[in-house]
């Protein structure tokens, strides 16, 4: 295994698995704690349940669909290889899939209140922990950066000095996280957070080893542009 050299070999669990479990647990528990502390914008338990279902289904489908679009040639070759197709997923696809699914569900349920602001801290915390797992997974995670001669280039497990893109993302999350302290109930806090994150991902994707089959852009970058357009549209409403 080509894990990051900093990962203690005595720990028997893979860092990606460990930090992903921590991310889901911490993010969900933080969401529940914030909902108990704040007044829920969705009074109906049934409607809240449907929004939760929409979030889970939309995030799962979005994360998987965008993964398949990242490398169309690979996806076509493995089109009947179900185990291979189920191996990967993308955070950007999960965020956008969950977001759009919730907006669709809110329209069907006639919910007009904003529901995204309470998610800023849980998403920041969960993503921060998840990216720690990506960092310690080194080049195994396939989210590592291209080789670089910059002084902060890092050996991620294969002996090559690369852009530590996971660390870049951790720094951006630390910048965005203070938004969670801003009192907002109109959705602007969530829009600012997701817009900042998508903008970072659009730029940082140029530093990763991946195909760019869509007019020089990757599938994730195209999804980021779609998400940013939605942010601008909703901000102006």
The HSE-up count of residue 82 (CA atoms within 13 Å, CB side) is 0
| Nearest of 134, 55, 132 to residue 96 by alpha carbon | 55
Q: What is the pTM of this model?
A: 0.93
**Rounded mean pLDDT, 7-35:** 90
Residue 44's pLDDT is what?
73
Please list the residues that pair with 155 across neighbouring strands: 161
Q: Give CA–CA dist 155/176, Å, rounded.
A: 27
**Rounded mean pLDDT, 5-33:** 90
Sequence-distant (6+) residues with CB within 8 A of 201 are: 92, 220, 221, 224
CA–chain centroid gap for 173, Å, is 11
pLDDT digits (tens, 9 = 90+) for 135-149: 999 988 888 899 999
Task: Pick 117 or 237 by higher pLDDT.
Answer: 117
- Say which residue the tokens 């089109």 belong to: 79
Sequence-distant (6+) residues with CB within 8 A of 128 are: 23, 170, 173, 174, 177
- DSSP codes of every residue in 33-69: HHHHHS--S---HHHHHHHHHHHHHHHHHHHHHHHHH
pLDDT at 1 over 70: no
Confidence at 49, pLDDT banded by 50, 70, 90: confident
Radius of gyration of the chain (CA): 18
pLDDT digits (tens, 9 = 90+) for 194-208: 999 999 999 999 999
pLDDT at 103 over 70: yes
**Rounded mean pLDDT, 18-24:** 94
Element (H, E) at 161: strand 161-162
Mean model confidence pLDDT for the chain: 90
Q: Please state whether beta strands 154-155 and 161-162 pair in parallel, antiparallel, or not at all (unpaired).
A: antiparallel
pLDDT at 39 over 80: no
pLDDT at 48 over 90: no
């Amino acid at each position: 295994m080509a894990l990051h050299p900093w990962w203690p070999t005595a720990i028997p669990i893979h860092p990606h698995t460990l930090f992903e479990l921590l991310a889901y647990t911490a993010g969900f528990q933080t969401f529940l704690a914030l909902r108990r502390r704040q007044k829920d914008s969705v009074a109906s338990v049934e409607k809240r349940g449907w929004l939760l279902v929409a979030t889970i289904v939309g995030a799962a489908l979005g994360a998987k669909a965008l993964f398949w679009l990242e490398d169309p040639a690979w996806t076509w070759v493995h089109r009947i290889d179900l185990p291979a197709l189920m191996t990967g997923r993308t955070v950007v696809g999960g965020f956008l899939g969950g977001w759009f699914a919730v907006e669709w569900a809110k329209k069907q349920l006639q919910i007009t209140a904003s529901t995204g602001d309470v998610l800023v801290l849980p998403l920041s915390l969960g993503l921060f922990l998840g990216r720690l797992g990506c960092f310690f997974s080194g080049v195994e995670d396939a989210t590592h950066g291209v080789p670089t001669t910059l002084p902060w280039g890092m050996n991620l497990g294969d002996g090559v000095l690369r852009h530590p893109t996971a660390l870049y993302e951790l720094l951006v999350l630390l910048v965005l996280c203070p938004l969670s302290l801003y009192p907002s109930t109109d959705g602007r806090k969530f829009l600012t957070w997701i817009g900042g994150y998508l903008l970072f991902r659009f730029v940082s994707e140029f530093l990763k080893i991946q195909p760019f089959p869509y007019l020089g852009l990757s599938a994730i970058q195209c999804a980021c542009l779609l998400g940013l357009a939605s942010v601008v549209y909703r901000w102006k409403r």
